[in-house]
Chains A and B, each alone.
Chain A
Amino acid sequence: MSDAPRTTMETGVAATDLAAATSRTVQAGTPILRAESVSKWFPVDEGLFRRAHKQVRAVDGVSLDVFPGETVGLVGESGCGKSTFGRTILRLVDPTYGRLFFEGEEITQLGQRELRPLRRKMQIVFQDPYSSLNPRMTVKQIVGEALQIHGLAKNARDEEAQVAELLRRCGMRAEAMTRYPHEFSGGQRQRIGIARALAVDPRFIVCDEPISALDVSIQAQIVNLLQELQEERKLAYLFISHDLKVVEYLSHRVAVMYLGRIVETASAKSLFERRHHPYTRALMSAVPVPDPKKRTLRVLLEGDVPSPIDPPSACTFHPRCPRFEKGTCDVETPELRELTPGSGHQVACHFPEDA
C-alpha cells in the first residue's frame, strides 16, 4: 500500500489539446474538474479467514481535466474502472491517492458537510433508469427533492413550477409529476433522471452509460437532449460509455481506459483518426458499423480483460497486445506521453502505431 501512483501529471496539456478540437468550440481557462493522479483501490477479502488483503486497483493514477462546456468521453470495457473514476471525482467514493479540484479549489479532503454546496454544481446521471429512481416516490418528489435539500424553491407552488419546467425541458409533460417511475418507459425514465440532475442547475454532470439501456431510436433522442442542455447551460460532461460511436459523436476529447489506467487521450478527432495505442485500435475496429460496404479488416484481440486483482506486469495490455515486445512491455510501465509535442494527443505505449 506504500507505493504511490506513478503516473506523471500533465498540467497544461489539456488546454493545448482544445485547439486541436477544431470541429466544435469549447471554453478554455480553469478546468471545472481536475483529477491529478487519482487512484481508487479496493481491498479484496480472500480465503477462508478473509485475511489476504489484496488490493484491486480499480483506478490507478488517472489524471484528467474537464473544462466548462466541454464533453470528455471516457471509454473502455467492463471492469476498466471508468465508472469508479466517475464516482471518485464526484467524491461519491473517496480516492485512495491523488488530488481532486473543482473550479480550481481542492476538494480531496473536504468533509460531507463542506461538500454539500458543491453537490449542487456536480451531478450524475446513471445507466439504469429502472434502479436509479425511487419506485415509491412520484416524479414530482424525485425531481423536487434536490430543490428542497438545497433550498432552491421559495414555496410549494414555486417548487411545482420549477419541476414542471424541468420536465418540459427534458421532453416530458407536466402531468408526469403525479405518476410513479414504473409508469414510464426506459427513455422517459432517463429523461426524469436528467431532469433530477438539472434541478440544482449544475455546472458538471457525470453521465455514466446514460443511453446503454435504451432502445436505438430512443438513444438518439437522449443524446440530442444532452447536447441541447450543454449548449444552453454551458454544462460540462464526463461521458462514460462503452459505445464508441456515441462517444465519438458527442465528445470534444476522449480518454481510453484499460485496467484502471488511461492508455490514450486526445481530441475526439485526433483520437479517432490516429488511434496510436494498439488497444484503441482493437477497440475501434471491433465496433460493428451499420454499413455493409464498410466491413473492414478487424484486429481481433485474444483473451479477456485480465482481472484487476492480479493485473499483468508493466503495461497491463501486454498479454493481449499484437505489438508486444518481450523485455520491454512486460518490464517497463509506459507513461502517457505526447508523440507530437503540443498536439495534446497522449499515448501510454512503448511501440505506438503510426508514430
Chain B
Amino acid sequence: MRCCSPADEPRPEPPVARVPVAPAPAEGTPLLSVRGLVTSFRTEGGVLRAVDDVSFDVPPRSTVGLVGESGCGKSVTSLSIMRLVPDPPGRIEAGKILFQGTDLLALPEREMRKLRGDRLSMIFQEPMTSLNPVYTVGAQIAEAVRLHQKKSRADARARAVEMLRVVGIPSPETRVDAYPHQLSGGMRQRVMIAMALACEPKLLIADEPTTALDVTIQAQVLELLRKLQKLLGMSVVLITHDLGVVAEFADRVVVMYAGRVVEEGAVDEVFQRPRHPYTRGLLRSIPPFGEVAANRPRRLPTIEGMVPDLRALPVGCRFQDRCPDVIDVCRKIEPELAPIDGEPSGRRSRCHRASELA
C-alpha cells in the first residue's frame, strides 16, 4: 500500500502552500452560539462538571480553536454540541446551543439525527476506531450520503468516489472498495474527512484531527481541511492541545481550563498578548523553534503543579494554585469571563488581573 507516486513518472512541481494570513471576517450572526453550557458526569467520587458554564460563538466561514489540556472539557464541549455525550453517566444540565438560530438542545433526537452528518459533522482523533472495520470505506461514505439525501446506490457510490478524490486519495475508483485496515493513518483520516464532508456541512467539529498523525502527514491533512473549508464555505471548530496548530489554522481561539473558558479572542491578539496567566504560561512553556541559540532560555518556563480535581475545586479562581500572579482576591472570588480594558471587543479573560497582564 504505497501511496507515493512511482519514481518513473514525471513529477509535478513540489506543492508549496501559501498559508493565508488574513482571518475570515466575523460579520453578522454567528453560525453556532454556545450559551452557558453545563455538562456533568456522575462518577464514583460524585458528580463533576466537565463543562461548566461555557459560552462562545463560531462565526460563519471561520475556524475557532478550542484549546486546553486533558480534562479541561474541550472534547465534552464538542460532544455536547453534537449531542453525543454518553448518557448515563453524562448529562447536559443547562445551556443553549444555537445552530443557525435553532437550539440543538431542544430538538427531539429524530431531528438531531437529521442534522448530524448533514449540516453538522464531526471528525475524531483516531480514525481507526471511528471507521467500521467490516465495511469498505466507500460503503461508509455512501451510507452517510444516503441517510441524508435521496440518492440511488450508484449515485451514492459515485459521490463516495468523488469525495475520495476531493480529499486527495490516489486512484479513488479502486480505493473506494478498500477496507480501513488497508489504508495508512493519514489516508484513514482523509476518509473520515470525506465522510464528514460528503453532505457539505455548514459546521465541522474536528476533535484532535491530526494528533495521531506524523508531522508531515499532519501538514497535509490541515492543508486539506483549509482547502475544503474555503471550497464549502463552512465553519470549523478545531479541538486541539497543540497551540502551534491553532496559530496556523484558527481565526479565533477559546482557551479552556478545568471546565471553564479562561480566555478568548482573535488568534493573533491572544498569541501576541495573552491576558490570562494560564494562556501566557502555556505559550511560554513551548520550546522556541528555530530561534538563535542566544535567545533560548536555559530552562523552559513551566506552569507548576497540575490541573485541579474537578470534584474538589478550590473556592475562587480554578487556576489559583498554579498561578504565578495570584493575589488574595483570587482565593475568594472566581473572576468572570469579562472584556478587557484596552482590548478589542470579542476579547475576554477570566482573570482579576487581566488588564495588568500585558
Report A's interface with B, CB cutoff 8 A. 22-23, 77-78, 185-188, 215-221, 223-224, 227, 242, 244-246, 248-250, 269, 272, 282-307, 310, 312-313, 318-320, 322, 324, 326, 330
Contacts and interface: CB of A to CB of B under 8 A. Distances in A.
5 contacts: A220-B301, A221-B304, A244-B215, A290-B246, A318-B7
Contacts of A324: 7, 11
Contacts of B282: 216-217
Nearest to A290: B243
B129 interface: no
Contact of A305 (B214, B244, B248): B214
Nearest to A215: B69
A291 B293 CA distance: 18
A290 B216 contact: no
A304 B217 contact: yes
B358 interface: no
B241 interface: yes
B306 A216 contact: no
A320 B5 CA distance: 8
Contacts of A295: 19, 21, 247-248
B287 A223 contact: yes
Given A23-B296, A286-B215, A300-B219, A330 B7 contact: yes
Given A23-B296, A302-B5, A319-B5, A219 B285 contact: yes
A300 B243 contact: no
B218 A224 contact: no
A225 to B, nearest CB: 10
B186 interface: yes
A330 B6 CA distance: 11
Interface of B: 1-8, 11, 14-19, 21, 69-70, 184, 186-187, 214-220, 222-223, 241-249, 267-268, 271-272, 281-283, 285-290, 293-294, 296, 299-304, 306-307
B267 A292 contact: yes
Contact of A269 (B272, B283, B293): B293
B289 A248 contact: yes
Contact of A303 (B4, B242, B247): B4
Contact of A246 (B222, B242, B287, B299): B287
Most chain B C-beta atoms within 10 Å of own C-beta, residue among A77, A300, A306: A300
A292 B287 contact: no
A296 B8 CA distance: 31
B7 A326 contact: yes
Contacts of B243: 216, 290
A355 B286 CA distance: 31
A303 B303 contact: no
Contacts of A227: 299
Contacts of B285: 216-217, 219-220
B303 A244 contact: no
Contacts of A219: 285
Contacts of A299: 14, 16
Given A219-B285, A221-B302, A305-B214, A286 B219 contact: yes
Given A220-B302, A299-B14, A290 B293 contact: no
